Amino acid sequence: MKAHVGVDMATGLVHSVVGTTGNVADVTQAHALLHGGEKTVLGDAGYQGVGKRAENADRQIDWHVAMRPSVRKTLKKNPLGRAKEKLEKAKASVRAKVEHCFHVVKCLFKHRKTRYRGLAKNNAQMFTLFGFANLVLARRFLGTTHAQVAS
């Protein structure tokens, strides 16, 4: 099973979750992760060609998709190659916010493996887990710490 998530760039909170079987490509679910108000979208290398797909062709979005690792390794050490590497690092630092919700789900909630009970039940569990992850991640905006909540 795969969990595809859409995360807000400003807050790092999950706004959409799509659960699919493991053999579904990431790029096929990109349209389901958008809520409609996006101007800029960042994606990892699994979303290569997302702007050319029929379901995303009419959207006025700036797509910033990571370079494939094999292509990134072959970048030359000239000024153009170094500039491209800097651009990839900048994209990766913004995309890192997506990984925070996965950290909470996998490490804090200990949900590292899923048992297949049907896609509907597994999706319901994913919605719940990422909803609770939003509550954990929202603490930094609310100004409360774990100790203050517990007492």
Q: Which tens digits make up the pLDDT trace of 7-19?
A: 998 888 999 999 9
- Residue 12's SS3 state is coil
DSSP annotation of 48: T
If one counts the domains in the chain, the total is 1
What confidence tens digit (pLDDT) does each residue in 102-127 have? Answer: 999 999 999 988 888 999 999 999 99
pLDDT tens digits, one per residue of 121-146? 999 999 999 999 999 999 877 775 55
Task: Note the pLDDT of residue 145.
Answer: 57
Domain that holds residue 139: 2-150
What's the token pair of residue 62?
A: 């700036």
pTM for the complete prediction?
A: 0.81
Radius of gyration of the chain (CA): 17
